[in-house]
Amino acid sequence: MNDLILRICVSIPGFLFAVVCHEWAHAYVAHKFGDDTAKRHGRLSLNPMAHIDWLGTVILPLILAFIGGMMFGWAKPVPVDARGFKDIRKSIFWVSFAGPLANIVVAVIVCFLLACMVTFVPRDFYLFEPFILILTSAMQINIVLAIFNLIPFPPLDGSKMISAFMDYNMLRKYETLTTYSFPIMIVLMWTGALGYIIGPFIMLGNGLFHFFISVMA
């Protein structure tokens, strides 16, 4: 029970910040391209309550933490009305990419903060270990969320980025994959194949962390 509580406590800040930044970025870029739907629905906000999906943001992450996994999930999808875009293809691509890109940026920033913590903060500081755990968890969660959403299966962001360049007939055929997306994702997670996809990027994040340390040394 103590391990579970610790795992939840060190993961919640990074997880909430990751999903909130992800959805805020979708809303922000959509607004910049001319669609104010998300803003009118209160989604152009960094307030977690504006984005919470009870299954994806609360129940599933807690279940994963309980069974010893990384906290992972989703927030409410940001509503987008493409009729507000001047250049629909370009806008859809960047609005879709904005979420994963925000997580990549956050992961890089967290890597830098983690390196600063390790380099400049005395190890006998009483919050040293909790901060290290929180930042490490935040880095990993943001990387996982970014790479997972870039997988080109509907309705993930990667599929929308690709669909922005498809003609109507190809798009209709591509959207039929939605029927198989959930089973495919379950298989990827159950077999551990998803780890092989995301693992190299976690290693890249660790490498960036060590690079920052070497620069600061």
Q: Which of 11, 17, 20, 23 is catalytic?
A: 23
Burial class from Cβ neighbours inside 10 Å (0-12, 13-18, 19+) for residue 48 reads: middle
Return the DSSP state at 35: -
CB distance 49 to 23 below 8 Å: no
Question: Catalytic annotation on 129?
Answer: no
CB distance 103 to 145 below 8 Å: yes
* Residue in the structure block whose two tokens are 């880095």: 139
Q: How many CB atoms lie within 10 A of CB 150?
A: 21
Taking alpha carbons only, the member of 100, 95, 98, 105 closest to residue 37 is 95
CB distance 24 to 79 below 8 Å: no
Residues with catalytic roles: 23
